[in-house]
């Protein structure tokens, strides 16, 4: 009977663990790029360090509640007890050590995982310009002279340098399996550097609520097996015959939900900069941007960018 209960309990725990682990597939805990791997390791290390405090607290809470219950007449009764040097050392020293370790790790990783910092790699980075619209993503490949909507294709093993802005409200560009998210804002160019270490298709999302079509603002990121496969895809896009000029771009800015994947064989030169400038012309100012070698810029540092944008609008 006891063995049966133990078997059922073990089976239940195993099933629960399996169900929880299935939720990791395709997310930040299933990284396919070096940036994502570093961030996963950071999450695990930080979680384990914090559990050093959390688990004993939970265990001792349950233990004391059981040991000193009203029905336990054998429990010691010391109403005048007020101090223990050993307990004071434990409850102060261990958390302080953990905070120092976490602070050191955070400081180092914040600079090492700076989204503006180019990735060290033997290959030259692929430049991709990203524009968030209502409710779709536009990807411009300036070197290849092509553009796509809601589909990003990159070669495996080659760094990708993103330059991002927004046509409308503030948004957030995020490919969970490849690494950091970064905000997009009108009249501001932000940057992000990622790399895919394995070929495959990884979902990209908008991580910032932006209106009615927010839920459908997703795109596939296809990491090709080789540079040759990427070049073959570029040739396929160039054969599509549709041009992205001022007129077609203005039509693209109209709000639409679950926009289909679209290819543009040619792109107006300087379109990305034109998008930046059109929100600043009536202010007589240049677009806000961070320098290419900016350091110490966290992917989660939205407050500074948002304040800058609001200041530009209020002037």
Give me the helices (H) in the chain, please: 2-22, 34-67, 85-112, 227-238, 246-252, 271-278, 302-314
Question: What confidence tier does 295 reach under pLDDT thresholds 50, 70, 90?
Answer: very low
- Per the model's pLDDT, the better-predicted residue between 25 and 23 turns out to be 25
Instruction: Reply yes or no on whether the pLDDT at 185 is more than 90.
Output: yes
| Segment 51-109, tens digit of pLDDT | 999 999 999 999 999 999 989 988 888 889 999 999 999 999 999 999 999 999 999 99
CA atoms lying within 13 Å on the CB side of residue 19: 6
79-89 pLDDT, tens digit per residue, is 899 999 999 99
pLDDT of residue 111: 94
Q: Percentage of the chain surpassing pLDDT 70?
A: 81
| Nearest partner of 195 among 130, 100, 122, 244, judged by Cα | 122
Taking the whole predicted model, whether its pTM rises above 0.85 is answered as no
CA separation for the pair 273, 200 (Å, rounded): 31
pLDDT(290) > 70: no
- Rg (alpha carbons) of the chain, rounded to whole number: 26
> Residue 136: what pLDDT?
98
Q: What are phi and psi of 151, to 5 degrees?
A: -150, 125
Parallel, antiparallel, or unpaired for β 243-244 and 266-267? parallel
Mean pLDDT (whole number) for 237-256: 95
pLDDT of residue 286: 56
Tell whether the model's pLDDT for residue 20 goes beyond 80.
Answer: no
pLDDT, position 77: 87
Task: Give the per-residue pLDDT at 298.
Answer: 39
Mean pLDDT of 282-308: 46
Kindly tell me the burial class for residue 10, based on how many C-beta atoms sit within 10 Å of its own C-beta (0-12, 13-18, 19 or more).
exposed
pLDDT tens-digit map of 135-145: 999 999 999 99
Residue 311 has pLDDT above 70, yes or no: no
The pLDDT value recorded for residue 283 is 53
**What is the average per-residue pLDDT within 167-188?**
96
Ranges 14-18, 81-85, 205-209: which has the least confidence = 14-18
Residue 289 pLDDT: 56
Q: Which residue in this structure is represented by tokens 């990209």?
A: 204
pLDDT at 275 over 90: yes
For 62, residues 6+ apart whose C-beta sits below 8 A from its C-beta are none
Structural domains in the chain, sorted by start: 29-70+83-113 (1.10.287), 126-314 (2.60.40.420)
């Amino acid at each position: 009977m006891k063995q049966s209960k133990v078997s059922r309990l073990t089976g239940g725990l195993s099933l629960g663990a399996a169900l929880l682990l299935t939720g990791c597939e395709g997310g930040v805990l299933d990284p396919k790029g070096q940036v994502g791997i570093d961030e996963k390791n950071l999450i695990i290390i930080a979680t384990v360090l914090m559990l050093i405090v959390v688990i004993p607290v939970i265990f001792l809470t349950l233990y004391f509640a059981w040991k000193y219950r009203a029905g336990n007449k054998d429990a010691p009764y010391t109403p005048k007890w007020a101090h223990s040097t050993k307990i004071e050392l434990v409850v102060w020293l261990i958390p302080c050590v953990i905070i120092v370790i976490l602070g050191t790790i955070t400081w180092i990783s914040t600079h090492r995982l700076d989204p503006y910092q180019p990735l060290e790699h033997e290959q030259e980075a692929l430049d991709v310009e990203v524009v968030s619209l209502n409710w779709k993503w536009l990807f411009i490949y300036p070197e290849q002279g092509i553009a796509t909507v809601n589909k990003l294709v990159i070669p495996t093993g080659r760094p990708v340098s993103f330059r991002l802005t927004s046509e409308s409200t503030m948004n957030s560009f995020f490919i969970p399996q490849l690494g950091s998210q970064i905000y997009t804002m009108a009249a501001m160019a932000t940057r992000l550097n990622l790399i895919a270490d394995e070929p495959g298709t990884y979902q990209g999302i908008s991580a910032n609520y932006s209106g009615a079509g927010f839920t459908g603002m997703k795109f596939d990121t296809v990491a090709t097996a080789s540079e040759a496969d990427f070049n073959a895809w570029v040739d396929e896009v160039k054969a599509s015959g549709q041009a992205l000029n001022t007129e077609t771009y203005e039509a693209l800015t109209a709000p639409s939900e679950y926009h289909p994947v679209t290819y543009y064989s040619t792109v107006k030169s300087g379109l990305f900069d034109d998008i930046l400038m059109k929100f600043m012309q009536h202010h007589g100012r240049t677009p806000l941007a961070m320098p290419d070698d900016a350091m110490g810029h966290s992917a989660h540092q939205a407050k500074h960018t948002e304040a800058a944008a609001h200041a530009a609008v209020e002037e």
